[in-house]
Chain A
Amino acid sequence: MKRGLKYDFSLMALVLIPVGVSINVVGYQMSQILKLPVFIDQIGTILVSMITGPWVGMVTGLLGNVVNGMIYPTAFGYAIVSMLVGFVSGFLSRWRWYSNVVGVVIGCALLNVVSSVSAAVVTVFMFGGVTGAGTDLLTAAFVASGQALWDSVLTTNVISGTVNTIVNFAIAWIIVRRIPDRFLVKLNYGLPYIKKKGAKING
């Protein structure tokens, strides 16, 4: 099947992008309201990338950071991280990694590596190794113990990122499994999540 950009960016996918961004924002707000100790702000990006593929996922990630950046410009710096998360997650979904446990575990690990490394690059080269959040203390501790700045930031990101990635992914995954088949058939990447056996898209 030919899968050009035009194929990926159907009107349905286009309408889902703002929804994905809003889910990122609302997910974050809810985690604040519930005082959860994790950073939940990628649910929408992961979710949308799962059902609409890498390119739409990437745009969702980008748009989320653009909207955020309009208020807090540092978000522009991290746009690349969200874009990569959406992009990689979209490919994993296209390759059907998300339909079995092994794929999910490896996929999560891969997502974590991608986001940790890209975030570390931004943090080190644009912001001198700090993010303005509590995790900076961890980075400082690594640096103080004699590690190089780059290693320290990366280690911090992997540590804090693992929990975040797992939680973000897990919630997105739980919810995707609950999207009705009726809707999934209308999406170009919805097929792996359809529960009805032997389902085919006709027409």
Chain B
Amino acid sequence: MDSRIGKLYPTTKFMITLLVVIISIFTPGYVLQYIMFPAFLIISLMAGTTKQFLNAFFKSIFIIILFIFAMQVFIITNEDQTPIWGFIHFSQAGLATSLSMTSKITAIASAIMTFFETTKVKDITYALEYAGTPRKVTFLISSTIQLIPQMSSLSKTITDAQKSRGIETEGGLMTRIKAFVPMLGPLVLSSIQQTEERVLALESRAFSAKGKKTSIYVLHKTGLDIVLEVLSVILLMGYVVWRVM
């Protein structure tokens, strides 16, 4: 995230992402969309986030793409199908649907993944606040991002505490099901109990104070940001004109 791309202003990256999403949805065919995958792979290489990019891609998108092909081309009934074996057949129309659908998924997912992998949540919330988003909204985003790993590690402590009073977490299905509420219950009860104090802690920090808020963390747009943003807008307008005409 400390790369050149990581340091771009979030809005800049968001505009580029949005541009890619719009173009991917409204351009017919699939070649341009598929090109987005290697394109964003290169971008993530430059940003040093290739590992996350490929990991997320193969864990979620790739399987879906494979399944879509399998389902649409070989299983779903189409008029042009030629039988292969049993219920399996080949359909040209199904192939066309798959290509169109998977290419869009690939392009949009690649853009979104790259956006989040190269942009700190902190920068996103800063940009949101700067653009006038209420603090309550950015509060939700940052506190959720911060809280999840904490709750996750707290759940490990709770599991230990429950093991120490004789709750088995291994064994038959019934044993494991029985362990669920004792493991999750303390987490929920204690965190709900803590929300009360958390509210007080936030109030102690003038959370509900009216008036303008400031930020000690700042981000600045650079010349590059401006250039890229203007370019995105021009491209988008050009694209709209070209598509409509």
Q: Are A73 and B113 in contact, with the CB atoms below 8 A? A: yes
Q: Does B164 contact A (CB under 8 A)?
A: no
Q: Does A83 contact B (CB under 8 A)?
A: no
Q: Are B176 and A34 in contact, with the CB atoms below 8 A? A: yes
Q: Are B199 and A30 in contact, with the CB atoms below 8 A? A: no
Q: Does B244 contact A (CB under 8 A)?
A: no
| A21 and B151 alpha carbons, distance in the complex (Å) | 10
Q: Are B199 and A130 in contact, with the CB atoms below 8 A? A: no
Q: Are B136 and A9 in contact, with the CB atoms below 8 A? A: yes
Q: Are A16 and B192 in contact, with the CB atoms below 8 A? A: yes
Contact A15 to B67, CB < 8 A, known contacts A30-B184, A171-B181: no
Q: Are A186 and B144 in contact, with the CB atoms below 8 A? A: no
Q: Are B109 and A73 in contact, with the CB atoms below 8 A? A: yes
Proximity string of chain A (15-31) to chain B, C-beta cutoff 8 Å, 1 when within and 0 when not? 11111011101110111
Chain B residues with CB under 8 Å of A111's CB are none
Give the residue of A59, A130, A171 whose beta carbon is less than 8 angstroms from that of B140. A59
Q: Does A191 contact B (CB under 8 A)?
A: no
Chain B residues with CB under 8 Å of A29's CB are 152, 155
Chain A residues with CB under 8 Å of B152's CB are 22, 25-26, 29
Q: Are A22 and B148 in contact, with the CB atoms below 8 A? A: yes
Proximity string of chain A (159-183) to chain B, C-beta cutoff 8 Å, 1 when within and 0 when not? 0000000000001001100111001
Chain B residues with CB under 8 Å of A132's CB are 60, 63-64, 67
| A125 and B2 alpha carbons, distance in the complex (Å) | 38
Chain A's closest residue to B178 (CB) is A34
Give the residue of A16, A26, A178 whose beta carbon is less than 8 angstroms from that of B187. A26
Give the residue of B97, B108, B159, B177 whose beta carbon is less than 8 angstroms from that of A36. B177
Chain A residues with CB under 8 Å of B193's CB are 180, 183
Q: Are A175 and B155 in contact, with the CB atoms below 8 A? A: no
Q: Are B191 and A22 in contact, with the CB atoms below 8 A? A: yes
A-B contact count (CB 8 A): 173
Chain A's closest residue to B112 (CB) is A73
Chain A residues with CB under 8 Å of B101's CB are 127-128
Q: Does B208 contact A (CB under 8 A)?
A: yes
Q: Are A19 and B147 in contact, with the CB atoms below 8 A? A: yes
- A19 to chain B minimum Cβ distance, whole angstroms, is 5
Chain A residues with CB under 8 Å of B86's CB are 144
Q: Are A127 and B59 in contact, with the CB atoms below 8 A? A: no
Chain B's closest residue to A22 (CB) is B151
Q: Are B155 and A127 in contact, with the CB atoms below 8 A? A: no
- A60 to chain B minimum Cβ distance, whole angstroms, is 9
| A30 and B153 alpha carbons, distance in the complex (Å) | 11
Q: Does B77 contact A (CB under 8 A)?
A: yes
Chain B residues with CB under 8 Å of A19's CB are 147, 151, 191-192, 195
Chain B residues with CB under 8 Å of A69's CB are 112, 116
Chain B residues with CB under 8 Å of A186's CB are 196
Could you say which of A14, A36, A63, A178 has the most chain B C-beta atoms within 10 Å of its C-beta? Answer: A14
Q: Does A201 contact B (CB under 8 A)?
A: no
| A146 and B180 alpha carbons, distance in the complex (Å) | 40
Q: Does A199 contact B (CB under 8 A)?
A: no
Q: Does B61 contact A (CB under 8 A)?
A: yes
* A-B residue pairs, 9 tightest by C-beta: A130-B67, A144-B87, A22-B151, A18-B144, A132-B63, A128-B68, A132-B64, A72-B60, A73-B112
**Which A residues have a C-beta under 8 Å from some C-beta of B?**
9, 11-12, 14-19, 21-23, 25-27, 29-31, 33-37, 43, 47, 59, 63, 66-67, 69-74, 76, 126-132, 136, 139-140, 143-146, 149, 171, 174-175, 178-180, 183, 186
Interface pairs (9), CB distance under 8 Å: A11-B208, A15-B198, A30-B159, A34-B183, A129-B76, A130-B64, A143-B76, A144-B75, A144-B87
